[in-house]
Chains A and B, each alone.
Chain A
Amino acid sequence: GAVVSQHPSRVICKSGTSVKIECRSLDFQATTMFWYRQFPKQSLMLMATSNEGSKATYEQGVEKDKFLINHASLTLSTLTVTSAHPEDSSFYICSARDAGSTDTQYFGPGTRLTVL
């Protein structure tokens, strides 16, 4: 099946630093990628929809200046958590929709962010 990778898989950083997470579709082109966040014992919550070549669409309550998304190519989207704080500690997961498919999304393995 299609593969989506995320890097890094785990990051620990100090409060106030910025963290960049990469999401790559390895064997297909993804015009749309989605970024989710999952807190412990909760379900995935969509943060934003990343569209190649255009601005991301953010869900209500998600600060676009804090969570910067760049989708510069058909295989790469990045999420940068700026000035991270302990409350940003979470499991961040991306998914990519195959441009050749109507409704199939493939999930990356997730990035576990811990902000000290």
Chain B
Amino acid sequence: RKEVEQDPGPFNVPEGATVAFNCTYSNSASQSFFWYRQDCRKEPKLLMSVYSSGNEDGRFTAQLNRASQYISLLIRDSKLSDSATYLCVVSSGGTSYGKLTFGQGTILTVHP
């Protein structure tokens, strides 16, 4: 089983649509959780951290359920510029502190 698993995608949605991505992680000792976006042939860029209380940044809302080891990302009012690969990322604790484990990514294409 992969340490971080994401929706296989790809997602093709029209502008203005709401889209949700899901992610599960296997290591219950994981300490920090993130969503990154990666554009084609570029490095990943941090989109937002994910907290148990849930957090929102504009059109983006992230949720974490530690009991279910589940992370989600909701994008409202999709824009063409949201087209990218979205990576669910988990950070380890303990002796592996700071190590990031990436999910395989979900491709989002927003079309006019």
Residues of A at under 8 Å CB distance from B?
A: 32, 34, 42-46, 49, 91, 93, 95, 97, 103, 105, 107-110, 112
Q: List 26 A-B contacts (CB under 8 A).
A: A32-B98, A34-B98, A34-B99, A42-B104, A43-B87, A43-B102, A43-B104, A43-B105, A44-B87, A44-B100, A44-B102, A45-B102, A46-B101, A49-B98, A91-B41, A95-B100, A97-B98, A103-B32, A103-B91, A103-B98, A107-B43, A109-B42, A109-B43, A110-B41, A110-B43, A112-B41
Shortest distance in angstroms between A57's beta carbon and chain B's nearest beta carbon?
A: 9
Partner of A44, one of B32, B44, B91, B98: B44
List B residues 89-112 near A (Cβ within 8 Å).
91, 98-105
A95 to B91, CA, bound (A): 13
Residues of B at under 8 Å CB distance from A?
A: 31-32, 41-45, 87, 91, 98-105
A110 close to B42 (CB less than 8 A): yes
Contacts of A42 in B (CB 8 A): 104
Contacts of B98 in A (CB 8 A): 32, 34, 49, 97, 103, 105
Residue of A32, A43, A93, A97 with highest tally of chain B CB at under 10 A:
A43
Residue of B31, B32, B43, B45 with highest tally of chain A CB at under 10 A:
B43
